[in-house]
Amino acid sequence: MSALTDVPGAVVDERGLRHVGSPVAEQRKLASGRALAPLGDRRVISVGGEDRLSWLDSLSSQALTHLVPGVSTELLILDPQGRVEHAAAVVDDGETAWLIVDATDAEALATWLTRMRFRLRVEVRERSDDLFVVGGTGAAVAALTTVAPAWIDPWPEVSPGGWAYARVEPHPGADRDWAEAIVDAAEHARLIDAAVGGEVALAGLDAVEALRVAAWRPRVGVDADERLLPHEMDWLRTAVHLSKGCYRGQETVAKVHNLGHPPRRVVALQLDGSDNILPARGDEVRAGDAVIGTITSVAVHHEEGPIALALVKRTAPEGVPLVVMTADGPLAAAAETVVPADAGATAAVPRLPRLGRRRAAE
Protein backbone atom coordinates (compact mmCIF):
# COMPACT_ATOMS: atom_id res chain seq x y z
CA MET A 1 0.00 0.00 0.00
CA SER A 2 1.39 3.38 -1.03
CA ALA A 3 1.48 6.60 0.97
CA LEU A 4 0.84 10.14 -0.26
CA THR A 5 4.56 10.80 0.03
CA ASP A 6 5.11 8.16 -2.67
CA VAL A 7 3.16 10.19 -5.24
CA PRO A 8 5.65 11.82 -7.67
CA GLY A 9 6.27 15.45 -6.70
CA ALA A 10 4.14 15.24 -3.55
CA VAL A 11 4.63 17.83 -0.82
CA VAL A 12 2.87 16.70 2.35
CA ASP A 13 2.50 18.42 5.72
CA GLU A 14 0.38 17.90 8.83
CA ARG A 15 -2.77 18.90 6.92
CA GLY A 16 -2.23 16.49 4.05
CA LEU A 17 -1.19 16.78 0.41
CA ARG A 18 -0.30 20.42 -0.29
CA HIS A 19 0.59 19.95 -3.96
CA VAL A 20 2.28 17.59 -6.39
CA GLY A 21 4.70 20.08 -7.87
CA SER A 22 2.54 22.66 -9.64
CA PRO A 23 -0.39 24.13 -7.66
CA VAL A 24 -1.43 26.37 -10.55
CA ALA A 25 -1.63 23.51 -13.07
CA GLU A 26 -3.39 21.40 -10.45
CA GLN A 27 -6.13 24.03 -10.19
CA ARG A 28 -6.86 23.73 -13.88
CA LYS A 29 -6.98 19.94 -13.71
CA LEU A 30 -9.16 20.01 -10.62
CA ALA A 31 -11.61 22.53 -12.07
CA SER A 32 -11.93 20.58 -15.33
CA GLY A 33 -12.48 17.21 -13.65
CA ARG A 34 -9.07 15.81 -14.59
CA ALA A 35 -7.77 15.47 -11.02
CA LEU A 36 -8.96 14.49 -7.56
CA ALA A 37 -7.89 16.06 -4.27
CA PRO A 38 -7.40 14.01 -1.09
CA LEU A 39 -8.80 16.35 1.56
CA GLY A 40 -6.64 15.58 4.55
CA ASP A 41 -7.91 18.70 6.30
CA ARG A 42 -11.49 17.37 6.41
CA ARG A 43 -13.09 14.88 8.80
CA VAL A 44 -16.38 12.96 8.86
CA ILE A 45 -18.99 12.80 11.60
CA SER A 46 -21.85 10.34 11.16
CA VAL A 47 -25.19 10.88 12.89
CA GLY A 48 -27.52 7.89 12.92
CA GLY A 49 -30.86 7.20 14.56
CA GLU A 50 -34.50 7.96 13.85
CA ASP A 51 -34.41 11.43 15.38
CA ARG A 52 -31.21 12.58 13.64
CA LEU A 53 -32.66 15.11 11.20
CA SER A 54 -35.18 16.78 13.51
CA TRP A 55 -32.49 16.88 16.20
CA LEU A 56 -29.91 18.51 13.92
CA ASP A 57 -32.64 20.91 12.77
CA SER A 58 -33.30 21.99 16.36
CA LEU A 59 -29.61 22.68 17.02
CA SER A 60 -28.53 24.38 13.82
CA SER A 61 -29.23 27.24 11.44
CA GLN A 62 -30.49 24.94 8.67
CA ALA A 63 -33.91 23.38 8.05
CA LEU A 64 -33.15 19.65 8.06
CA THR A 65 -36.22 17.82 9.36
CA HIS A 66 -37.41 16.94 5.86
CA LEU A 67 -34.02 16.74 4.14
CA VAL A 68 -34.36 14.42 1.14
CA PRO A 69 -31.77 11.62 0.89
CA GLY A 70 -28.95 12.62 -1.44
CA VAL A 71 -29.67 16.36 -1.29
CA SER A 72 -26.70 18.45 -0.17
CA THR A 73 -26.83 21.36 2.24
CA GLU A 74 -24.80 22.86 5.07
CA LEU A 75 -25.41 23.96 8.63
CA LEU A 76 -23.96 26.31 11.20
CA ILE A 77 -23.91 25.91 14.96
CA LEU A 78 -24.14 29.34 16.55
CA ASP A 79 -23.57 30.55 20.08
CA PRO A 80 -26.37 32.39 21.96
CA GLN A 81 -25.15 35.69 20.46
CA GLY A 82 -25.44 34.34 16.91
CA ARG A 83 -21.70 33.93 16.36
CA VAL A 84 -20.45 30.98 14.32
CA GLU A 85 -19.00 28.15 16.42
CA HIS A 86 -19.10 25.21 13.99
CA ALA A 87 -19.97 24.51 10.35
CA ALA A 88 -20.65 21.28 8.49
CA ALA A 89 -21.51 20.09 5.01
CA VAL A 90 -24.50 17.74 5.29
CA VAL A 91 -25.93 14.94 3.18
CA ASP A 92 -28.29 12.18 4.33
CA ASP A 93 -28.65 8.68 2.87
CA GLY A 94 -32.00 7.83 4.45
CA GLU A 95 -30.46 6.17 7.50
CA THR A 96 -27.47 8.32 8.44
CA ALA A 97 -26.69 12.02 8.22
CA TRP A 98 -23.11 12.53 7.08
CA LEU A 99 -21.31 15.68 8.20
CA ILE A 100 -18.07 16.77 6.54
CA VAL A 101 -16.18 19.21 8.75
CA ASP A 102 -12.82 20.93 9.02
CA ALA A 103 -10.30 18.72 10.79
CA THR A 104 -9.58 21.44 13.34
CA ASP A 105 -13.27 21.53 14.30
CA ALA A 106 -14.18 17.83 14.19
CA GLU A 107 -13.45 16.77 17.76
CA ALA A 108 -15.07 19.84 19.30
CA LEU A 109 -18.22 19.51 17.18
CA ALA A 110 -18.55 15.77 17.79
CA THR A 111 -18.14 16.31 21.53
CA TRP A 112 -20.74 19.08 21.58
CA LEU A 113 -23.23 17.04 19.55
CA THR A 114 -22.76 14.07 21.87
CA ARG A 115 -23.50 16.25 24.89
CA MET A 116 -26.71 17.47 23.24
CA ARG A 117 -28.21 14.02 22.59
CA PHE A 118 -30.17 13.82 25.84
CA ARG A 119 -32.60 10.89 25.45
CA LEU A 120 -33.18 11.20 21.72
CA ARG A 121 -32.63 8.35 19.27
CA VAL A 122 -29.37 9.58 17.77
CA GLU A 123 -25.85 8.20 17.58
CA VAL A 124 -22.88 10.50 16.94
CA ARG A 125 -19.58 9.07 15.73
CA GLU A 126 -16.40 10.91 14.79
CA ARG A 127 -14.98 8.85 11.92
CA SER A 128 -11.39 10.06 11.56
CA ASP A 129 -10.02 6.54 12.00
CA ASP A 130 -11.88 4.83 9.17
CA LEU A 131 -13.23 7.39 6.67
CA PHE A 132 -11.59 9.89 4.33
CA VAL A 133 -12.78 12.78 2.14
CA VAL A 134 -11.85 13.29 -1.52
CA GLY A 135 -12.80 16.40 -3.51
CA GLY A 136 -13.25 17.27 -7.16
CA THR A 137 -15.95 17.98 -9.69
CA GLY A 138 -19.19 16.07 -9.36
CA ALA A 139 -18.32 13.84 -12.29
CA ALA A 140 -14.82 13.17 -10.98
CA VAL A 141 -15.89 12.02 -7.51
CA ALA A 142 -18.71 9.95 -9.04
CA ALA A 143 -16.01 7.54 -10.25
CA LEU A 144 -15.12 6.70 -6.64
CA THR A 145 -16.63 3.95 -4.52
CA THR A 146 -18.19 5.86 -1.64
CA VAL A 147 -19.89 5.06 1.65
CA ALA A 148 -22.44 7.87 1.31
CA PRO A 149 -23.93 10.11 -1.37
CA ALA A 150 -21.45 12.72 -2.54
CA TRP A 151 -21.89 16.18 -1.09
CA ILE A 152 -22.40 18.67 -3.92
CA ASP A 153 -21.51 22.17 -2.77
CA PRO A 154 -24.63 24.36 -3.09
CA TRP A 155 -22.58 27.58 -3.12
CA PRO A 156 -23.32 30.17 -4.43
CA GLU A 157 -26.94 29.31 -5.24
CA VAL A 158 -29.36 30.67 -2.65
CA SER A 159 -30.81 27.72 -0.76
CA PRO A 160 -34.48 27.60 0.32
CA GLY A 161 -34.92 30.06 3.16
CA GLY A 162 -31.57 31.71 2.43
CA TRP A 163 -30.61 35.22 1.38
CA ALA A 164 -27.87 36.64 -0.83
CA TYR A 165 -26.04 39.85 0.05
CA ALA A 166 -23.49 39.90 -2.78
CA ARG A 167 -24.94 41.70 -5.80
CA VAL A 168 -22.36 40.78 -8.41
CA GLU A 169 -23.78 38.92 -11.39
CA PRO A 170 -22.65 36.42 -12.36
CA HIS A 171 -21.30 35.43 -8.98
CA PRO A 172 -17.60 34.42 -9.15
CA GLY A 173 -18.52 31.00 -7.78
CA ALA A 174 -21.27 30.33 -10.30
CA ASP A 175 -19.11 28.11 -12.50
CA ARG A 176 -17.36 26.31 -9.65
CA ASP A 177 -18.25 22.62 -9.78
CA TRP A 178 -17.27 21.17 -6.42
CA ALA A 179 -18.16 17.93 -4.65
CA GLU A 180 -16.77 15.99 -1.71
CA ALA A 181 -16.98 12.20 -1.43
CA ILE A 182 -16.64 10.07 1.69
CA VAL A 183 -14.60 6.91 1.12
CA ASP A 184 -13.33 4.10 3.30
CA ALA A 185 -9.68 3.26 3.92
CA ALA A 186 -9.56 0.69 1.12
CA GLU A 187 -10.84 3.13 -1.52
CA HIS A 188 -8.53 5.85 -0.26
CA ALA A 189 -5.56 3.47 -0.54
CA ARG A 190 -6.66 2.43 -4.04
CA LEU A 191 -6.74 6.09 -5.11
CA ILE A 192 -3.23 6.72 -3.81
CA ASP A 193 -1.90 3.54 -5.43
CA ALA A 194 -3.44 4.66 -8.74
CA ALA A 195 -1.79 8.07 -8.38
CA VAL A 196 1.60 6.51 -7.64
CA GLY A 197 1.18 4.37 -10.75
CA GLY A 198 0.26 7.37 -12.92
CA GLU A 199 -3.31 6.19 -13.52
CA VAL A 200 -4.97 9.07 -11.66
CA ALA A 201 -3.94 12.73 -11.32
CA LEU A 202 -4.05 14.28 -7.87
CA ALA A 203 -4.29 17.91 -6.83
CA GLY A 204 -3.28 19.32 -3.48
CA LEU A 205 -4.92 21.48 -0.85
CA ASP A 206 -3.30 24.63 -2.24
CA ALA A 207 -5.24 24.17 -5.48
CA VAL A 208 -8.47 23.44 -3.59
CA GLU A 209 -8.10 26.61 -1.53
CA ALA A 210 -7.33 28.79 -4.55
CA LEU A 211 -10.56 27.73 -6.26
CA ARG A 212 -12.49 28.29 -3.02
CA VAL A 213 -11.12 31.78 -2.40
CA ALA A 214 -11.80 32.83 -5.99
CA ALA A 215 -15.43 31.71 -5.50
CA TRP A 216 -15.75 33.82 -2.29
CA ARG A 217 -16.70 30.62 -0.50
CA PRO A 218 -16.37 30.90 3.32
CA ARG A 219 -14.78 28.19 5.42
CA VAL A 220 -15.08 28.06 9.19
CA GLY A 221 -11.59 26.80 9.94
CA VAL A 222 -10.00 29.65 7.99
CA ASP A 223 -12.36 32.61 7.68
CA ALA A 224 -14.08 32.54 11.07
CA ASP A 225 -12.89 34.15 14.26
CA GLU A 226 -14.55 34.06 17.67
CA ARG A 227 -17.03 36.81 16.78
CA LEU A 228 -18.03 35.97 13.20
CA LEU A 229 -21.69 36.42 12.30
CA PRO A 230 -22.88 34.42 9.26
CA HIS A 231 -24.08 37.62 7.59
CA GLU A 232 -20.52 38.96 7.44
CA MET A 233 -19.38 36.22 5.03
CA ASP A 234 -22.60 36.15 2.95
CA TRP A 235 -23.24 32.74 4.54
CA LEU A 236 -27.01 33.24 4.68
CA ARG A 237 -26.93 32.06 1.05
CA THR A 238 -26.45 28.40 1.81
CA ALA A 239 -26.19 27.76 5.56
CA VAL A 240 -29.11 29.63 7.15
CA HIS A 241 -32.86 29.14 6.79
CA LEU A 242 -34.42 32.44 7.82
CA SER A 243 -37.94 31.12 8.46
CA LYS A 244 -37.27 27.84 10.27
CA GLY A 245 -38.06 27.13 13.91
CA CYS A 246 -36.14 28.30 16.95
CA TYR A 247 -32.45 27.49 17.40
CA ARG A 248 -29.60 28.94 19.42
CA GLY A 249 -28.51 32.29 17.99
CA GLN A 250 -31.61 32.75 15.84
CA GLU A 251 -32.62 36.01 17.50
CA THR A 252 -29.37 37.69 16.52
CA VAL A 253 -29.54 36.30 12.98
CA ALA A 254 -33.04 37.73 12.55
CA LYS A 255 -32.29 41.09 14.17
CA VAL A 256 -29.17 41.75 12.12
CA HIS A 257 -30.84 40.67 8.89
CA ASN A 258 -34.17 42.43 9.40
CA LEU A 259 -33.35 45.49 11.48
CA GLY A 260 -29.61 46.11 11.55
CA HIS A 261 -26.41 45.64 9.58
CA PRO A 262 -23.56 43.18 10.12
CA PRO A 263 -20.73 45.06 11.90
CA ARG A 264 -18.14 43.65 9.48
CA ARG A 265 -18.26 42.52 5.87
CA VAL A 266 -16.13 40.36 3.63
CA VAL A 267 -14.31 41.82 0.64
CA ALA A 268 -12.33 40.09 -2.10
CA LEU A 269 -8.83 41.44 -2.60
CA GLN A 270 -6.71 41.49 -5.73
CA LEU A 271 -3.12 41.64 -4.50
CA ASP A 272 -0.09 43.21 -6.13
CA GLY A 273 2.00 40.27 -7.33
CA SER A 274 5.01 42.18 -8.62
CA ASP A 275 7.20 41.42 -5.57
CA ASN A 276 6.00 37.83 -4.98
CA ILE A 277 4.79 38.74 -1.49
CA LEU A 278 1.78 36.99 0.03
CA PRO A 279 0.04 38.06 3.23
CA ALA A 280 -0.81 35.72 6.08
CA ARG A 281 -4.09 35.16 7.85
CA GLY A 282 -4.56 37.94 10.37
CA ASP A 283 -2.47 40.55 8.56
CA GLU A 284 -3.90 44.06 8.85
CA VAL A 285 -5.69 45.73 5.96
CA ARG A 286 -5.39 49.52 5.89
CA ALA A 287 -7.02 52.38 4.03
CA GLY A 288 -4.56 55.22 4.39
CA ASP A 289 -3.43 55.19 8.02
CA ALA A 290 -6.61 53.52 9.30
CA VAL A 291 -6.76 49.79 10.04
CA ILE A 292 -10.04 48.63 8.53
CA GLY A 293 -9.80 44.84 8.80
CA THR A 294 -7.76 41.65 8.57
CA ILE A 295 -6.94 38.95 6.03
CA THR A 296 -8.77 35.62 6.44
CA SER A 297 -7.79 33.57 3.34
CA VAL A 298 -4.97 33.87 0.80
CA ALA A 299 -4.27 32.03 -2.47
CA VAL A 300 -2.58 32.28 -5.85
CA HIS A 301 -5.21 31.61 -8.52
CA HIS A 302 -4.41 30.23 -11.95
CA GLU A 303 -6.21 33.11 -13.69
CA GLU A 304 -6.51 35.92 -11.14
CA GLY A 305 -3.05 35.67 -9.57
CA PRO A 306 -2.62 36.47 -5.86
CA ILE A 307 -6.00 36.96 -4.16
CA ALA A 308 -7.41 37.07 -0.66
CA LEU A 309 -10.56 37.40 1.41
CA ALA A 310 -10.64 39.95 4.21
CA LEU A 311 -13.10 40.96 6.90
CA VAL A 312 -13.35 44.73 7.15
CA LYS A 313 -15.43 47.19 9.15
CA ARG A 314 -18.88 47.85 7.72
CA THR A 315 -17.96 51.52 7.39
CA ALA A 316 -14.71 50.83 5.53
CA PRO A 317 -14.45 53.08 2.46
CA GLU A 318 -15.06 51.53 -0.95
CA GLY A 319 -13.20 52.22 -4.16
CA VAL A 320 -10.00 53.39 -2.47
CA PRO A 321 -6.51 51.83 -2.64
CA LEU A 322 -5.75 49.47 0.24
CA VAL A 323 -2.53 48.22 1.78
CA VAL A 324 -1.98 44.88 3.51
CA MET A 325 0.71 44.98 6.20
CA THR A 326 2.68 41.75 5.72
CA ALA A 327 5.77 40.44 7.50
CA ASP A 328 7.73 41.36 4.35
CA GLY A 329 6.39 44.88 4.11
CA PRO A 330 3.30 46.70 2.79
CA LEU A 331 1.42 45.13 -0.11
CA ALA A 332 -0.94 47.06 -2.37
CA ALA A 333 -4.45 45.67 -2.82
CA ALA A 334 -7.70 46.51 -4.56
CA ALA A 335 -11.00 45.43 -3.01
CA GLU A 336 -14.19 44.15 -4.60
CA THR A 337 -17.30 44.34 -2.44
CA VAL A 338 -18.84 41.01 -1.50
CA VAL A 339 -21.13 42.00 1.36
CA PRO A 340 -22.19 45.63 0.83
CA ALA A 341 -22.23 48.16 3.66
CA ASP A 342 -26.03 48.38 3.55
CA ALA A 343 -26.57 44.60 3.86
CA GLY A 344 -29.35 43.77 6.29
CA ALA A 345 -32.22 45.98 7.46
CA THR A 346 -34.47 44.07 5.08
CA ALA A 347 -37.58 44.93 7.10
CA ALA A 348 -37.19 48.49 5.83
CA VAL A 349 -36.94 47.43 2.19
CA PRO A 350 -40.22 48.22 0.39
CA ARG A 351 -41.79 45.30 -1.43
CA LEU A 352 -42.70 46.29 -4.97
CA PRO A 353 -45.92 44.83 -6.38
CA ARG A 354 -45.58 42.30 -9.12
CA LEU A 355 -45.98 43.63 -12.63
CA GLY A 356 -49.23 41.74 -13.18
CA ARG A 357 -50.78 43.17 -10.02
CA ARG A 358 -49.62 46.68 -10.92
CA ARG A 359 -51.25 46.47 -14.33
CA ALA A 360 -54.45 45.11 -12.83
CA ALA A 361 -54.58 48.05 -10.43
CA GLU A 362 -54.18 50.45 -13.33
**Beta-bridge partners for 295:** 310
pTM score: 0.94
Start-end of H helices in the chain: 23-31, 52-59, 103-115, 138-141, 185-196, 205-214, 220-223, 250-258, 355-361
What distance in Å separates the CA atoms of residue 301 and residue 226, rounded to the nearest whole number?
28
Tell me: do 31 and 167 sit in the same domain. yes
226 burial via Cβ count (<10 Å: 0-12, 13-18, 19+) = exposed
Q: Please tell me whether residues 148 and 216 are part of one structural domain.
A: yes
Which residue segment(s) compose the domain that 273 sits in?
263-338
**Cα three-residue angle 223-227-228, rounded to 5 degrees:** 40
Query: Do residue 217 and residue 166 come from a single domain?
Result: yes
Does residue 286 share a domain with residue 193? no
355 within domain boundaries: no
Residue 211 covered by a domain: yes
pLDDT at position 240? 99
Residue 173 shares a structural domain with residue 76: yes
> Is 241 contained in some domain?
no
**281 and 187 in a common domain:** no
Instruction: Looking at the structure, tell me whether residues 217 and 323 fall in a common domain.
Output: no
Q: Is residue 129 part of a domain?
A: yes
CATH of the domain at 320: 2.40.30.110
For 274, the 3-state DSSP assignment is coil
pLDDT of 204: 99
Same domain, 136 and 41: yes
**Could you tell me if 31 and 153 lie in one domain?**
yes
Asked whether residue 258 is domain-assigned, the answer is no
317 and 189 in a single domain? The answer is no
Report pLDDT for 355: 44
CA distances from 281 to 50, 166, 275, 308 (A): 41, 23, 19, 9
Q: Is position 148 within any domain?
A: yes
pLDDT tens series, the chain, 362 aa: 789 999 999 999 999 999 999 999 999 999 999 999 999 999 999 999 999 999 999 999 999 999 999 999 999 999 999 999 999 999 999 999 999 999 999 999 999 999 999 889 999 999 999 999 999 999 999 999 999 999 999 999 999 999 999 999 999 999 999 999 999 999 999 999 999 999 999 999 999 999 999 999 999 999 999 999 999 999 999 999 999 989 999 999 999 999 999 999 999 999 999 999 999 999 999 999 999 999 999 999 999 999 999 999 999 999 999 999 999 999 999 999 999 999 998 875 554 454 444 344 44
Residue 239 lies in a domain: no
- Whether 74 and 217 map to the same domain: the answer is yes
User: Are 204 and 289 contained in the same domain?
Assistant: no
The predicted pLDDT at position 1 comes to 72
Q: Is 251 helix (H, G, I), strand (E, B) or coil?
A: helix
Number of domains in the chain: 2
- Domain holding 85: CATH number? 3.30.1360.120
**pLDDT value of residue 348:** 59
Residue 348: inside a domain, yes or no? Answer: no
In single-letter form, the type of residue at position 216 comes to W
What pLDDT shows up at residue 350?
52
CB 349 within 8 A of CB 261: no
What pLDDT, on the 0 to 100 scale, is given for residue 361? 41
